[in-house]
Every structure is written in structure tokens, then in C-alpha cells.
Amino acid sequence: MKQFALTTATIFYLLNSAYGQNKTYIGLEFSIANDIYKITDNSDYLMNIPLINGAGGFNIRQEVNKNFLIEVGLLMKYYQQGFGFKTIPYYGSSSSDPSWLIPVRIGLNLNLYKGKIYLVPVVGFTFGINPPYGFGLGYGKQISSTTTIDYNYAENPDVTRYFSLLQTGIGFEVKLFKALLFSISTNYYKGFNKTTHLDINYMVNNSNQATGTAISKGDFWCVSTGLKYPISNFWTMHKGL
């Protein structure tokens, strides 16, 4: 992580030195996210469920030129875990301790209207750190008018704490008061390392035991909003004194 952070800081220093005439922004961003799991099942009852959670943090953006930007951030995210059964109209989920995400993004800044509204597509790489592994167990019973399901699950330790994500996204930015940038965007993060693995056992109406898994690689989609201010204004004004 230290090497990744040092490399990112070095890139920003070089960009700022090379493109000092362009603006540097600092900003806040907040997201509503939904985590994505892959379900396997040797019967046909398990299903994915909404796993809604939040993420937030700050970012720094450097304009390379009028249409090209690079951005780095630090985000805190509460990943969720859970699963449901197709014949039961309700479900449960739980949250882990917070994870830390360090996104590095490149994007285009496409003027849509008089230098006030921009279309901003981005791609990026995110380095993630989960909290130390904790061996979780759970069990329960779900009942509908025709079905009773007894289940239990356990967290499999065959996962990684450190992971990577590929980000793709698109959004709009609006310039406010000739300085602030307000943004709203939608993004998808695709993971490559297994971060959560739930082993699930269940019985339907006291029949034979069925088994399944719910596996996450850190994938999620999100809707984000943010606000940025050009901190380069400070040293630009200083040079003008």
C-alpha cells in the first residue's frame, strides 16, 4: 500500500509541475452502492438480494489539458453480505467493518453547454483493503405460507484482504459560482480477487440438505455525487501578488 500511495503522489507531483497552468481540485464524494455476489446452488432456491450500502471520502483532481484529467482518492466503504431464498418474500443482510478504497482515475471533460455543463466518462484502477479476516457464522429459519427453510452459513477463510477493482463510469458536472464543480455519476467496479466466500447449507420443508455458495470479488455499482473546489486558485493568487 505504501508503494502504491507513493507512486500515486509522485505522479500527481509531476503532473502538477508539468501542467501548473491547469487547475487542481480537491473534493468530497459520496455514493450509494449495491454489492454484487455470484451465487451457486445445488438446488434451486438461493438468489441474489439487494445489498445497499454507502461509501464516501475525498479526491484530488489534476487537469492535464482542457479535455483530459487524472484523479486519485481515498474512500471508506461498508461492504454488505447476504443472500435470499426465491420462495420467501424477505431476506437479511449484514455489514462488515469498513474497507478502504484508493481509486486512480483518468477521464475526459467534454463541454456540453457554454463551459458550465460537462459530460465526464472515466476509467480507473482501485486498490482495496479489507479489515482483518473474522470467521463469521450464522443460522436462521425463514417461513412462508408453503415453505419452511432452515439454514446456516459460515465464512470461508480462502479469501484475500487486499484486492483490485476496475472502474468504468460516466457522469455530469455543473460549474457553480464560476469555481465549484458539482457532479453526479454512475459507476461500476469489477473485481479480480475473491474477498468474501460464504458456504451455505439449508433444508426446505425438512427435506435433504442442499448446499450453495455466495462469493464476492468486491464488485459493486454505485450512484455518486460530489463537490470540488480548485485549490490551485490559492497558489495562482499568490503568484499574482
Domains of the chain, by residue range, sit at 2-37+48-129+160-190+217-240
Q: Answer for the pair 80, 55: CB distance below 8 angstroms, yes or no.
A: no
Average pLDDT value for the chain = 87
pTM of the model: 0.86
Instruction: State CA 151 to chain mean position distance.
Output: 29
The confidence score (pLDDT) of residue 122 equals 97
> 197-224: per-residue pLDDT in tens?
999 999 999 999 999 999 999 999 999 9
DSSP 42-65: SSS-EE----EEEEEEEEEEEE-S
Going by pLDDT thresholds of 50, 70 and 90, the confidence category of residue 241 is: very low
User: What fold does the segment set 2-37+48-129+160-190+217-240 form as a domain?
Assistant: Porin (2.40.160)
Most confident of 128-137, 140-149, 186-195: 186-195
> 29-86: per-residue pLDDT in tens?
999 999 999 999 999 899 999 999 999 999 999 999 889 999 999 999 999 988 999 8
Across the chain, where does the E strand assignment appear? 24-35, 38-41, 46-47, 52-63, 68-77, 80-85, 92-95, 99-108, 110-113, 117-129, 137-143, 148-155, 162-176, 180-191, 196-204, 210-216, 220-230
